[in-house]
A = this chain, B = another copy of it.
Amino acid sequence: MGENLTLVQAVRDGLRDAMAEDDDVLVLGEDVGKNGGVFRATEGLYDEFGEERVVDTPLAESGIVGTAIGMAAYGLKPVPEIQFSGFMYPAFDQIVSHMARLRTRSRGRFTCPMVLRAPFGGGIRAPEHHSESKEAFYVHEPGLKVAIPSTPHDAKGMLIAAIRDSDPVIFLEPKKIYRAFREEVPDGPYEVDLGEAAVRREGGDVSVFTWGAMTRPTLEAAENMADDVDVEVVDLRTLSPLDEDAIVESFEKTGRAAIVHEAPKTAGVGAELTATLQEESLLHQEAPIKRVTGFDVPFPLAALEDYYLPEPERIESGIRETVEF
């Protein structure tokens, strides 16, 4: 028996179950304790697990990630939250130089089993730096895993898998869909394996690869064009490691692909997927792979964000270009 939960509730539920099953798991960050998180992702945990395991920290991202690395090396399983993914940059050195590399540097003597959570992406009319989607930075850094759920069920299962993982995971939560819909989420801990994509809609004409909050407008675009184009939608879920088999399989079936992401186009993860597909499956490729993405500009403030973010119409136009090539 499960419960109908939103994505952010599922995150909370996952944290709760992970903390209940393993005393070494702890949560730390700005406003995660008494306040329950600015998106309420940690609501109730402070009361349930106490201030030693749900820790309000000073306002210092490098300090949060850096001390979490020390805790992870000492055998705890810290789950730091950065309030918005746009505020991970002050901790960037700790993330790429340490979280990612402690295992390599010490040849396995020290490891860094931790999960760095952050709400990410646009679409909520937030102030500047609150709408970042720079997953490509972390995908480009060896030693990290990068997971981005797009449904409540996945959010809980992937989060638990990430917390149990022995490597550091960047866990980006699409805040636009934190409360967009509900889904049945099982009680108790369960895992959704990291590194496995999910086919969200089967189709034979064109494969569209996406993740996070873009999954829904992509599915909407697919429905809107269902009369004349049969679109397959693959939600990557984990961007590092990539589920190469899944994307290659879908692409070899359809011969055409589009990629949808919020991040700027240039050097985004869409570039990697395209490069991988032509490497593996050029002989199946029937049209250029179209990237429908954010533009190569800083994410705009609220008044223009709808123009920046791919939405069903833009996605449909992009898919059609590929299909009609």
Residues of B within 8 A of A90 (CB): 62, 92-93
- Chosen A-B contacts, 15 in total, with CB atoms closer than 8 Å, are A62-B90, A89-B96, A90-B92, A136-B136, A137-B140, A139-B266, A139-B267, A142-B298, A270-B275, A271-B274, A271-B276, A274-B274, A275-B291, A278-B288, A279-B288
Q: CB < 8 Å: which of B141, B242, B266 contacts A140? A: B266
CB distance from A271 to the nearest CB of B (A): 4
Given A271-B275, A275-B270, A278-B289: A140 touches B129 (CB 8 Å cut-off): no
**Which chain A residues have a beta carbon within 8 Å of chain B's beta carbons?**
62, 86, 89-90, 92-93, 96-97, 100-101, 104-105, 128-129, 134, 136-137, 139-143, 240, 242, 263-264, 266-272, 274-276, 278-280, 282, 285, 287-291, 295-298
Contact A267–B278 (Cβ < 8 Å): no
Contact B93–A97 (Cβ < 8 Å): no
A243 vs B60: C-alpha distance when bound (angstroms): 39
A261 vs B5: C-alpha distance when bound (angstroms): 45
Contact B272–A269 (Cβ < 8 Å): no
Contact A89–B86 (Cβ < 8 Å): no
Contact B279–A140 (Cβ < 8 Å): no
A287 vs B280: C-alpha distance when bound (angstroms): 11
Contact B285–A282 (Cβ < 8 Å): yes
A104 vs B275: C-alpha distance when bound (angstroms): 31
When C-beta atoms are compared, the residue in chain B nearest to A135 turns out to be B267
A297 vs B143: C-alpha distance when bound (angstroms): 7
CB distance from A209 to the nearest CB of B (A): 12
